[in-house]
């Protein structure tokens, strides 16, 4: 019996065809929104930009899930926003909405009981209302200051019942609002990074070399008159495969690496009598402490290096190894 059921439930070519149809139908639904981006959309953007409070997004069911995503996208792109569940709003959370806010109501039918319970109250308070709905003649659309039409010809569900195309269209329209506001505010990559300090993008846009570089005793250095053996001891101590060679006033004279030592042993053999100044690299790859750590990662990759000297003017202020960048999750 179990083998028979497994055979019946095993997906075949029909599943692949259906999946392709779902994607095509939803893509068509989103594409059909473009001609509807008109003066009403501009008015909605104006309301969002003029908002003195927060943008409050509300909905029920699948529209509520989409609303949470739209609120999150707005908040992360420079438009302070939050999501309020329509049913919870009718039981106290309505106090989270003020006349200084803008309310974005999501309901494909435009007749959601829970939403329409709170919409008239929100309107009486003088809160601007933007409605995303699939019906221009709905109760929600009639109450709205701005109605944005997200009508779809059909759902991607074969039964034409499960919200699929409609929720995809609603999400795309919400994204369009968020990105239009982002552009109008001049919201840039650094602003985005401030909203995402825990992610890789935030780290790459915010973390500076100075935040990661090794200083003090952790920064390997030898004097310009040191021997090769003294440089080797310093490389071993610091454990980052290199040492800076510096003048007495802190200016960088050069760099000596484990790679330099290997090549020297192959060509010379006995290095004990050599001065490091004779064999060091006199033009080391350097970076400024205020440079982005991501720039240091790109420089290491381009130069095929494992470490950099951090220089302020001509003076050594730190050292950076690719392990430091990996530990900080820059690379």
pLDDT number for residue 257: 95
| Per CATH, domain 209-327 is 3.40.50.1580 | no
Q: CA 285 to CA 233: how far, in whole Å?
A: 22
CATH class as words, domain 13-187? alpha beta
Task: Report how far apart, in Å, the C-alpha atoms of 232 and of each of 40, 168, 272, 281, 319 are.
Answer: 71, 62, 10, 15, 17
Residue with tokens 């994607």: 23
Alpha-helix runs per DSSP H in the chain: 2-9, 13-31, 39-50, 61-76, 86-89, 113-124, 139-143, 165-185, 189-195, 200-206, 209-212, 228-238, 258-267, 276-279, 293-303, 322-327
The gap between the terminal CA atoms of the chain, to the nearest Å, is 52
Sheet holding 252-257, edge to edge: 221-223, 242-246, 252-257
Contact 26, 165 (CB under 8 A): yes
- pLDDT tier for residue 91 given thresholds of 50, 70 and 90: confident
- The three-state secondary structure class of 137 is coil
Residue 213: what pLDDT?
Answer: 97
| pLDDT for 202 | 66
H-helix or E-strand spanning residue 316: strand 315-321
Would the pTM count as exceeding 0.75?
no
How many whole angstroms separate alpha carbon 35 and alpha carbon 38?
8
Gap between the Cα atoms of 8 and 243, Å rounded: 67
What three-state secondary structure class fits 66? helix
The pLDDT of 144-153, averaged and rounded, is 97
In the predicted model, is pLDDT for residue 6 greater than 60? no
Residue whose C-alpha is closest to residue 221's, from 318, 320, 308: 318
Give the pLDDT score at 330.
86
The residue ranges of every structural domain in the chain are 13-187, 209-327
Greater pLDDT, 203 or 242 = 242
Mean pLDDT taken over the chain? 92
pLDDT-derived band at 200 (thresholds 50, 70, 90) equals low
Residue 3 has what pLDDT? Answer: 55
Task: Indicate the angle between helix axes 13-31 and 165-185, nearest 10 degrees.
Answer: 40
pLDDT over 80 (residue 309): yes
Extract the tokens encoding 323.
Answer: 């392990």
pLDDT of residue 193: 66
pLDDT at 4 (0 to 100): 47
pLDDT of residue 189: 73
* Sheet with 146-149, side-by-side order of all strands: 81-85, 55-59, 102-106, 129-133, 146-149
| Residue 95, pLDDT above cutoff 60 | yes
- C-alpha to C-alpha distance for 316 and 323, rounded to whole angstroms: 20
What is the pLDDT confidence band of residue 195, given thresholds at 50, 70 and 90?
low
pLDDT tier at 290 (50, 70, 90 boundaries)? very high
pLDDT digit string, tens, across residues 202-237: 677 788 999 999 999 999 999 999 999 999 999 999
H or E segment to which residue 106 belongs: strand 102-106
Q: What mean pLDDT do residues 233-260 have?
A: 95
**pLDDT at residue 5 greater than cutoff 60:** no
Torsion of CA 230, 212, 252, 249, to 10 degrees: -90
Mean pLDDT calculated for residue range 181-208: 76
Torsion of CA 135, 140, 141, 145, to 10 degrees: -160
Strand partners, 130: 104, 146
Does position 2 have pLDDT exceeding 60, yes or no?
no
Lowest mean pLDDT, pick from 193-207, 222-236, 248-262, 313-327: 193-207
Measured CA to CA in angstroms, residue 313 lies from 55, 89, 147, 228, 309 at distances of 47, 59, 58, 26, 12
Q: What is the mean pLDDT of residues 156-174?
A: 95
């Amino acid at each position: 019996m179990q083998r028979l059921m497994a055979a019946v439930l095993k997906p075949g070519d029909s599943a692949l065809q259906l999946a392709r149809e779902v994607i095509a139908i939803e893509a068509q639904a989103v594409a059909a929104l473009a001609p509807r981006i008109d003066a009403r959309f501009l008015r909605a953007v104006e309301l969002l930009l003029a908002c003195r409070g927060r943008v409050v997004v509300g909905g029920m069911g699948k529209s509520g899930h989409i609303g949470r995503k739209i609120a999150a996208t707005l908040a992360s792109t420079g438009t302070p926003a939050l999501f309020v569940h329509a049913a919870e709003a009718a039981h106290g959370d309505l106090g989270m909405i003020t006349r200084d806010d803008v309310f974005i109501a999501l309901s494909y039918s435009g007749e959601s009981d829970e939403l329409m319970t709170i919409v008239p109250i929100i309107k009486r308070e003088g809160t601007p209302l933007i409605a995303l709905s699939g019906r221009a003649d709905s109760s929600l659309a009639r109450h709205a200051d701005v109605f944005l039409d997200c009508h779809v010809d059909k759902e991607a569900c074969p039964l034409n019942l499960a919200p699929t195309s409609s929720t995809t269209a609603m999400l795309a329209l919400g994204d369009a609002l968020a990105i239009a506001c982002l552009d109008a505010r001049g919201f840039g990559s650094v602003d985005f990074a401030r909203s995402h300090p825990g992610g890789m993008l935030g780290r790459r846009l915010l973390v500076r070399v100075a935040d990661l570089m090794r200083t003090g005793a952790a920064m390997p250095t030898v004097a310009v008159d040191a021997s090769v053996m003294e440089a080797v001891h310093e490389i071993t101590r610091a454990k980052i495969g290199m040492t800076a060679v510096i003048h007495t006033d802190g200016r960088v004279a050069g760099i000596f690496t484990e790679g330099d030592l290997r090549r020297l042993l192959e060509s010379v053999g006995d290095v004990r009598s050599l001065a490091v100044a004779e064999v060091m690299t006199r033009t080391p790859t350097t970076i400024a402490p205020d440079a982005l750590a991501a720039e240091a990662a790109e420089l290491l990759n381009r130069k095929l290096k494992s470490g950099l000297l951090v220089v302020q003017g001509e003076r050594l202020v730190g050292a950076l190894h690719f392990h430091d960048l990996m530990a900080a999750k820059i690379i």
